Amino acid sequence: MLTEEQRRIGRRNFLKALATLPVLGAFGAAARQKGRHDRPLQVGIIGSGSEGCVLLEQSPTDLMEYKALADIRPDSRANGASTIKQRWGEQPQVYPDDYRKLLERDDIEAVVIATPLSLHAQMTVDALDAGKHVFVEKTMAWSVEHCKQMVLAARRNRRVLQVGHQRHSNRLYASALNMIRQGLIGDVYYIRTLWHRNTDWRRPVPDLAELRKADPKFDPKRWGYGDLDQLVNWRHYRKYSGGLMAELGSHQLDVTNWFTGAVPRRVIGSGGRFWWKGPGDVDDHVYVTCEYPANQLSPTGTTVTFSSITSNKFDDYYEQFEGAKGTIMLTGETEAMLWSEEGDKSTAIEVKQSAAGGAVMAASASRVADAAGTPVAAGAPAGAGEAAASGLDRLEPYRQELGAFCSAIKYRTPPPCTGEEALAAAIVILKANEAIARRQPIELDDKIYAV
């Protein structure tokens, strides 16, 4: 457990490194650099529940305009429509029974999909085949085959397919990757990731009679759900969900693919449903080890561990990159810290250029002035290399990734997370679940990653 002084010094060390190393390009600027697009992208959303409303709330109003939404839940439809009306000033067309009617509209250029995992593939393929560009939430899909169908549909229709792994649009992560790839912390043989909570992960189930006041025909069984709990708490059911690995581990193991520039060749897992009560069958504790071959962080390979438990929140969640020269820790998606192997976590560092041109760290005695740091205000405009070590707005990456989606459509810039990248992350997640269920290691060869 870090002390507050160690955290302050770690943040200050990270800021020193940012000030020394070459600056990365600005994030999320491409869609606005042109400055002359005739109108915002015309968008529909499929799934306006909790995550869908986050995306609606963070969509840049100068780049996107939501004209329609589809959702089978009366309360979600109402919340989504209210959010759209509040932000864009017009009531959207609502489709309560069939999202395909939304896809038939010629004025809709793109769709955002934020539905249960089991629905991602069919909805995405239908949208791409209808000529729409697609932003779909992570994890990409419920099965490897479904993911590959989505990639092929995007290629077939020559449309943008972007998956919502928002860490790709987080300035702290881009800055940390810049440091690591410039050799600041040396070869990285081990990465520790975790996401620990103390919760039953359940959401309150509304009264069915109340929902039917808004929509007398509403019945979850019409869409294959056994009851209202399965619709509301779909994350608890393997039929619809990938459990903790898909909902939490997907974020962090996507990062390790991204940082290493590689994919695992072996996945080992264990876990189970140990303490959750009530309906459902997904695991409430999972522990996974991924073995990467030689990669951009290490010439001999990197081992990554991920754990997610729901009975203890002490560790919260973070990614920790342990190099031969130092350690970078990213916590809560908003804070970055750096320590040198030459000192301890109470030691301030300096970053210099070596004679060979590479970045090196030199430890020095901790000073009060250094420990305090100078955090940049949350939400302040900055390039990736100017990101603060603390105080980042946790919702900023959502805004950045949605702006990048518009840029990819209008100016053919690369999306932050392509279908192919999301497929690789999904394979790790889905095969980790398989390894946990089988209690056996899973070998991953080139064939499984190919499309």
Architecture of domain 30-165: 3-Layer(aba) Sandwich (3.40)
Least confident of 136-145, 339-348, 352-361: 352-361
Residues 70 and 80: their CA atoms lie apart, in Å, by 9
Q: How far is CA 40 from the centre of its chain?
A: 25
Question: Mind giving me the DSSP string for 22-52?
Answer: PPPPPSS-HHHHS---SSPEEEEEE--SHHH
Q: How far is CA 159 from CA 151, 276, 405, 410, in A?
A: 10, 42, 11, 11
pLDDT confidence band for 148 (50 / 70 / 90) = very high
Q: What is the rounded average pLDDT of the residues 428-440?
A: 97
pLDDT digits (tens, 9 = 90+) for 359-398: 676 665 443 333 333 333 233 333 444 445 556 788 999 9
Task: Find residue 332's DSSP bridge partners.
Answer: none
Question: Mind giving me the DSSP string for 233-302?
Answer: TGGG-TTT--HHIIIIIHHHHHHHHHHHTS--SEEEEEEE--S--SS--S-SEEEEEEEE-S-SS-TT-E
Q: What is the pLDDT of residue 23?
A: 61
Q: What is the rounded average pLDDT of the residues 210-217?
A: 94
pLDDT digits (tens, 9 = 90+) for 54-105: 999 999 999 999 999 999 999 999 999 999 999 999 999 999 999 999 999 9
The percentage of residues in the chain with a pLDDT greater than 70, rounded to a whole number, is: 87
For the cut 50, the answer to whether the pLDDT of residue 131 exceeds it is yes
Q: What is the rounded average pLDDT of the residues 392-411?
A: 94
Residues 202 and 25: their CA atoms lie apart, in Å, by 41
Domain residue extents for the chain: 4-26+168-371+378-391+419-449, 30-165
Q: How far is CA 106 from CA 61, 80, 102, 124, 342, in A?
A: 21, 22, 9, 17, 61
CA dihedral 94, 100, 106, 108 (to 10 degrees): 60
pTM for the predicted model, two decimal places: 0.91
Residues 87 and 260: their CA atoms lie apart, in Å, by 39
Is residue 23 within 8 A of residue 399, CB to CB? The reply is no
Q: Tell me the average pLDDT of the chain.
A: 90
Residues 396 and 377: their CA atoms lie apart, in Å, by 13
At residue 193, the 3 state secondary structure works out as: strand
The percentage of residues in the chain with a pLDDT greater than 90, rounded to a whole number, is: 82
Residues 129 and 115: their CA atoms lie apart, in Å, by 19
Structure tokens at 63: 């780049």
At residue 309, the 3 state secondary structure works out as: strand
Domain 4-26+168-371+378-391+419-449 falls in which CATH fold? Dihydrodipicolinate Reductase; domain 2 (3.30.360)
State the Cα angle at 47 between 121 and 64, rounded to 5°.
100
